[in-house]
Structure 1
Amino acid sequence: MRTVKKMSSAATIAVFLLCCFITASTGSQADCDVYAATGSSFTVRLKHVLKDSDSLRWFKNENLIFHRRSKKVIIGKNDDVDSTGSLKLTQLTKNNTGRYAPQIHRADGTSAGDLPSVRLCVLDRVQKPNVTMTCTDKGHVNFTCSVGQNEKITWFMDDEALEEKEKTLTREIKDVLKARFSCNVSNSVSSEISLPVQQNCYATLQKPHVTVNCTGDSEVTFTCAVSQKDNYVEFKWFNKENKQQESGETLTKKTKDVVNTRFFCNVSNPISYHISDPAVQNCFKPSFPTELLGISIWVFIGGGAGLLILVIVTATVCCVRARRKRRI
């Protein structure tokens, strides 16, 4: 029973310490007076006119880091302060984060009073972000910005700032076909912007070509082939009269019904479209031609029959007139 209580107490203390740590870490930057980047320099200004006889001390948090009395350095180096007594910090690292406070005593030992202190926070500069793009199955595209902790995000579309501040930005593909997206990441000491990225969920289509496949001599299948195909390509079929037949990548017909019919396929997506060259079935060739010089054979038959009738009528009229003349 005691073991259970000890474990429970230990768990409670661990959770409490974790909460304290989180609170301290999240609140530390909020309490900063100034920010500086790692590797840079910063001078903590002494807001007091220093005399040569004064004793100057600089503290980081509660630790004495510099002490000079009557121009004689006791702790630290001469170069740690400038001519005004301001504290010089160089080649900053995150270990330099803290509160810096001066303390001055006059030659008679009296204090110059409470002087302003500064809480300095040292942060790494942000890295140049990258934007990655992901196409979804529902006609949307996701743009994701690589970003570190405690960094702010600003999204841009065609160089105009957007309201979204999240790591991932989602848009309908049809609304951003050629838009350029970039993200800016920043903290209190630096900012960087990514290179622009465009959606490539839709490919620019090339001109398709039609292949013909025979199922014996009874059926023929036309297939519309395109070199670059995405999930959003639409296929439509047309005959030579430009009448739409069907949609889909393939078209199947009875051979006898489309002996000389020319078919075209149209491929399209939201950013491009192309039409193929015409294709004709080659599965069945009738013994009696149905076309001559690209013109239906029945046109010639009909024309020939009409011409024959005209000759017969003309000959009949001529014979009738000749008989009438003989009678006269």
Structure 2
Amino acid sequence: MKNIYQITLIGLLALTLGCSKNEDIAIVPEEPKPTAKFTVAPVSESDAYTLEFKNASVNGKKIRWTFGDDSVSAEFSPIHTFRSAGTYRVLLSVENGDGYKAQSEIFLKLNPDLLLNFAAVNQGAGKVKLNVSSPTVYTTFKWTFEDKTTSTEATPITTVPAGSVRLVTLEAKTAKGSTATVQRLVTDFGVAQDVTIGSTLIVSKDNNSGAFGGEGSLKLIDNNINTKFLMSAFKGMYAQQVLTTPQVVKVYGITSGDDAQVRDPQQWTLLGSEDGLTWDLLDTRDEQFTGRKMLRLFAVQNTKAYTYYRLNITKNQGNNDLLQISEWRLYKIN
């Protein structure tokens, strides 16, 4: 046992003598934690699809961007061009030398209705000229008209008889290949814009399951032709929209339901009011819907801005005790 202890003590002494009193142990400090932050802005007013992502991050040594369109970048402040309108998740990830990471993200919405628009100018004799109106410069165009004919002209002329409405689709492309597609309702005196969105609906009689039911009155303005409002014991009724702001409605649309044609509206009037108390007659109709989920558009000779619009239905197509309508939309003319 004596020999064992001697060896141990000698070993400890050797370790002690091997360490200098003046030798310091090096301690590597941690790097500051990174933070991720950025802003985004168009490079040019003439190209809403090409954006500069300005990096305001700190303490990052590695940078990685993803743009939500299968594109990535390791640049500090990249410039990126999106190829189409849509919603994109843009994510910035920064990492310091110790491997600590920080992230910042935004959902970037390139709304086609804000990126591309066109106007219609009356040329007389049932003709209108279509002109693209957008800060972004487009170089190629494809117009598709309601009769399925097309045009690649920048400013085509199409036929829209007085008092009628035509659906026009425009697909436009920039020099860099970015595209947007929009649809507009064109009349002989301008382009119609839907003002139904955000309105409040009131009906004189609702579905038996109430406004929120599967066939309740709110289906009238849900912008979905695959749903409908159904009312039983029909002896006449009205539906009333209260708009968010007064609008000069010049076109309205009614879409038939998916069931028996005898349930479709046939005779009705459209009225407007500034206060919901005094009403002006705007239109009177006696019409037929020959198809299911069929949209019919009606022009109104109106020049006054109303907050309240009322559709007063007095008769359906078969003197039936059921009334069905898929959609009722209101439009102004730009």
Q: What TM-score results when the alignment is normalised by the length of structure 1?
A: 0.35
Give the structure with the larger helix fraction.
1
**Structure of larger gyration radius:** 1
